[in-house]
C-alpha cells in the first residue's frame, strides 16, 4: 500500500477558516459521494494547522505557507493514477479542488509508511518535512535517517504523551519522476500525540534533543526542514 501526501495552500481570497469549512463540509462529502472514486481509497485524512502552534522542542520554522496536509492511501501508485483518470474524478472531484486549493503551489508525494514507534493514530499530529543534504542519495539518506531515529526514539525511552511515530519515505525517482526536484521532501516524519504538548516536553530530555540535532546536522539540509502541527479530520476511515 502507498500513501499519497499532498501539501497545499488555500486559494487566494479564502480565509483559513473558510478553507477548512469548505474541505470538511463540501469537498470531503463530495469525494465520498462519487462511488467509483471513493472505492479505491483505503483511508483519507485531512490535517489542518493548529493556530498558534510552534516547534518548541527542535526550533524548526513552521510550514506556515501550508493550509492542509492530505493523506490518501491506495493499493499502489498505479491504482492512484488510475483513480485520477476515472470519469467521476475528472468531471466531479478535480474541478472542485480548484474552488479551495491553490493547485499551482501544491506538492504531491507518493510515500511508503515505515513505523519507528508503533501506537495509536491520534487526531493530533506533528509533521516534520525533511530534505537530505547535498551529496547523499535519497535511498542512503532514508536508510540512515530511519536507523538513526530508531536508535534515538527507542521503545524503552518513548517520550511521555507520544502515541506513535512513523516515517513517510518518498518513493524512488523511478516511480515518482519529479522526486529529485528540490521542492519535494525525502522523508515526512509523522508524530502521533496522545497529549498536545508531548513534543514540547522533549525540552526536558536534553540527551534526546542533542542526539537528534547531531543526526540533523549530519544528514539534513536543515535550512529546508519545516514543521506542520496538525489536527486531523478523518474523511474515509
Q: What is the pLDDT of residue 179?
A: 80
* Per-residue confidence band for 79, with pLDDT thresholds at 50, 70 and 90: very high
Model confidence pLDDT, tens digit, residues 124-154: 999 999 999 999 999 999 999 999 999 999 9
- Taking residues 182-203, report their average pLDDT: 95
Q: What is the pLDDT of residue 159?
A: 94
* Per-residue confidence band for 30, with pLDDT thresholds at 50, 70 and 90: very high
Higher pLDDT, 175 or 226: 226
- Taking residues 199-223, report their average pLDDT: 96
* Per-residue confidence band for 183, with pLDDT thresholds at 50, 70 and 90: confident
CA dihedral of residues 77, 79, 84, 89 (deg, nearest 10): -140
pTM of the model: 0.97
What domains are there in the chain, each with its CATH number? 2-236 (3.30.70.100)
pLDDT of residue 115 exceeding 90, the answer is yes
Q: What is the pLDDT of residue 178?
A: 78
Amino acid at each position: 500500500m502507498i500513501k499519497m501526501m499532498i501539501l497545499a495552500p488555500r486559494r487566494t481570497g479564502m480565509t483559513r477558516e473558510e478553507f477548512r469549512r469548505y474541505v470538511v463540509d463540501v469537498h470531503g462529502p463530495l469525494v465520498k459521494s462519487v462511488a467509483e472514486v471513493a472505492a479505491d481509497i483505503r483511508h483519507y485524512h485531512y490535517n489542518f494547522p493548529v493556530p498558534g502552534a510552534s516547534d518548541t522542542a527542535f526550533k524548526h520554522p513552521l510550514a506556515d505557507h501550508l493550509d492542509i496536509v492530505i493523506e490518501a492511501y491506495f493499493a499502489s501508485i498505479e491504482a492512484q493514477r488510475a483513480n485520477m483518470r476515472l470519469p467521476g474524478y475528472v468531471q466531479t472531484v478535480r474541478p472542485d479542488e480548484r474552488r479551495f486549493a491553490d493547485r499551482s503551489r501544491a506538492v504531491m508525494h507518493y510515500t511508503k509508511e515505515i513505523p519507528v514507534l508503533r501506537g495509536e493514530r491520534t487526531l493530533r499530529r506533528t509533521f516534520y518535512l525533511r530534505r537530505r543534504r547535498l551529496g547523499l542519495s535519497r535511498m542512503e539518506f532514508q536508510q540512515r535517517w530511519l536507523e538513526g531515529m530508531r536508535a534515538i526514539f527507542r521503545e524503552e525511552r518513548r517520550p511521555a504523551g507520544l502515541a506513535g511515530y512513523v516515517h513517510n519515505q518518498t518513493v524512488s525517482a523511478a516511480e515518482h519522476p519529479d522526486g529529485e526536484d528540490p521542492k519535494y521532501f525525502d522523508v515526512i516524519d509523522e508524530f502521533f500525540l496522545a497529549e498536545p504538548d508531548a513534543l514540547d516536553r522533549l525540552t526536558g530530555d536534553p540527551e534526546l534533543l542533542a542526539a537528534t540535532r547531531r543526526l540533523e546536522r549530519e544528514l539534513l539540509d536543515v535550512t529546508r526542514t519545516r514543521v506542520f502541527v496538525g489536527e486531523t479530520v478523518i474523511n474515509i476511515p
